[in-house]
Structure 1
């Protein structure tokens, strides 16, 4: 058998293994998720008592992680939604909505009727239409002890002009997941990767879906080329030409019973649309000073078609322990030149 035949056989074998694992995870997590659905329903009953829009000035939000902080597409504001907080004994999930005014350096909290259920590790994307919209997909809800997880596969839109939430019901979308990435490009949302976890099993994804903002329909893509390995928590940014850049991420796999091995990904990929239904993956090999391996970093598209990456953590994992090195450095990736370089921040000028 030639190299191509072996490669195709290997790919098909990997697809079958992934399908079996997804079925196994789905079966085992069903009971966990049924238990949590009742708790989510209780919280939604409380949310249903909100009948009017109330906006109040407030101090900065309480500590939380894995929320979404999204730039308003038409104003100098940031929109914070959701997140989680563990106080050492109990896990708290949020579906609060805060707005940060960049120029005034002020926070306000907005209570809006019928919000999405409490969640973290979801994705949010800003869309510049109708006075500005924030689209939310997926994420997870955790039990108070942090041992059980419910993974959402719902899609919501926050209409910023009217301050209203709307759930968009469309079939054929991604399965329930968290840690995925979503971006806006050419009248569509693009969702990539993520993971689904139950008390005993987990699965990481590298599938790609688009949601058409004109027809309100989902489509699962089958790009040609070499795709990234399954992962969560990567950086996903839209280029000026509408193509998508993927960097880094994290995944884990079982090496033996009750022992998992984590992988910190440092590779880069480009996903490009070359026709109405044709998408292509290609691997990028950038030059320059690349970021050291890390996860949990934040990234955004900056001026001059550059991706700005900040912070993160690198965990040294042993069988019984984990140690993390945290970062506060900045790297920039020039998408036009395919080059990484370190970012230098100049402080305010001091008078002599």
Structure 2
């Protein structure tokens, strides 16, 4: 029995010559106790219409400019558009939730969405599935942030094949108690996917994203969002419910410095400056084409002011992905 368990949990490591295979909607997470990066999952749609989803892990060392690949039978299933956060506790952990999967020819189902929750132990390179009775629903395109010892996922979408449901629920996972808790807000209209979600000292900043508006008798319309919210988090261990959440909408910044509406952009915290740095994203243009942004934006984490820097001219417009060419608009992830 022990030999079977060890065989199933064996982790294969190999040096990658060159780069990992090309893929989209992958997560790239900074190691909490080192200077390298962890690349997990992703998807690739080939020219002949096949969909490839991955469950391998890659470790990138900038100092050596070296990629290493890790594979095991016990790793989470192949997926894309999932979310990952890092914790420095116990030598370093990565927490993964959700994501989506398609069959090779996309003929058995439209989308399969995950609702599983995993933790990756960095020292041993092993995954463990966290089982709880209460947990968030299946989704992809959501975002997660780590605040103290709490993991906070928000948003995303669920697409069973006939209508995309954009989600607006807020959850918190307590790493000390290993329990999920859902928080509800009266003004819960914000329901995006593909947005930026940035943890700060006092809470989490949310900016941008994408959703669909449905009107009876009309085709759904995709909407690129450009608002900024702050999820203020307070912790008081003396209370029966020690953690409280409050959502605050930030005032629109000066149009001179306000980044244009976009989805799929990312933000990271420049901790030395207390500033969030945002790059890239996508926005719909006329005639069904897309524009890609290469403008660098930085936002003071506890203020509303934004600043920008042009890194290059606007990228050339590119064709939509294969499913969009077939008349299927994919939710922004």
Provide the TM-score with structure 2 as the length reference.
0.83
Question: 1:117-171: CA deviations, max 9, x gaps?
Answer: 0100000000111111110000111122346111100000110011111000012
Following superposition, the deviation at residue 302 of structure 1 comes to 1.8
* CA distance in 1 between partners of 2:148 and 2:99 (Å): 24
CA contact (8 A) 1:310 1:328 kept: yes
Instruction: Trace 1:185-264 onto structure 2 (pairs within 5 A).
Output: 185-223=147-185, 226-227=187-188, 229-241=190-202, 243-257=203-217, 259-264=219-224
2:53 is the counterpart of 1:93: yes
Indicate the larger mover: 334-343 or 76-85: 334-343
The answer on whether the counterparts of 1:139 and 1:151 sit within 8 Å (CA) in structure 2 is yes
Q: Provide closer, same or farther for how the CA distance between residues 268 and 228 of structure 1 changes in structure 2, counting only shifts above 3 A.
A: farther
Shift of 1:113: 3.8
**Corresponding residue of 1:159:** 121
Alignment of 1:120-139 (within 5 A): 120-139=80-99
Task: Report the CA distance between 1:327 and its aligned residue.
Answer: 1.3
Q: Name which of 48, 51, 63 aligns with 2:22.
A: 63
Deviations 1:42-83 (A, max 9, x none): xxxxxx986522221112111100011000001001000000
Q: Is the 8 A contact 2:207 2:228 kept in 1?
A: yes
Larger mean CA deviation between 115-124 and 269-278 belongs to 269-278
Count of matched residue pairs? 294
Distance in 1 of aligned mates of 2:65 and 2:309: 24
CA distance in structure 2 between the partners assigned to 1:339 and 1:227 by the alignment = 25
Structure 1: gaps of 5 or more residues? 1-47, 347-352
2:50·2:104 contact (CA, 8 Å) conserved in 1? yes
Secondary structure at 2:141 match in 1: coil
The reply on whether 1:103 has 2:69 as its aligned counterpart is: no
CA distance in 2, matches of 1:131, 1:55: 19
Quick check: which one's helix share is greater?
1
Secondary structure of 1:130's partner?
helix
**Which one is further off, 295-304 or 198-207?**
295-304
8 Å CA contact retained: 1:250, 1:264 = yes
Deviates more, 1:287-296 or 1:187-196: 287-296
**How large is the RMSD of aligned CA atoms in angstroms?**
2.0
Distance 1:90 1:257 in 2: 33
Q: TM-score, normalised by structure 1?
A: 0.79
Question: Aligned pair 1:291/2:255, yes or no?
Answer: no
Q: Per the alignment, in what secondary structure is the counterpart of residue 63 of structure 2?
A: coil
- Match status 1:316 vs 2:285: yes
Residue 256 to residue 49, structure 1, CA distance change in 2 (3 Å): farther
CA contact (8 A) 2:295 2:311 kept: no
More divergent stretch after superposition (256-265 vs 190-199): 256-265
Contact map agreement 1:113 1:164 (CA 8 A) in 2 = no
C-alpha distance in 2, partners of 1:315/1:168?
38
Contact 2:207–2:229 (CA<8 Å) still a contact in 1?
Answer: yes
Deviations 1:261-318 (A, max 9, x none): 001010011111235242111101153401111112122112311111111111136x
Partner of 2:226 in structure 1?
266
Structure with the higher fraction of residues in strand conformation: 1
Pair 1:274–1:227, CA change in 2 (3 A)? farther
- Cα distance in 2 for partners of 1:57, 1:277 equals 44
Are 1:227 and 1:282, in contact at CA under 8 Å, matched by a contact in 2?
no
Structure 2: gaps of 5 or more residues: 1-5, 236-241, 313-333
Give 3-state SS (helix, strand or coil) of 2:24's partner.
Answer: coil
Q: CA deviation at 1:206?
A: 1.2
Q: Does 1:72 align with 2:40?
A: no
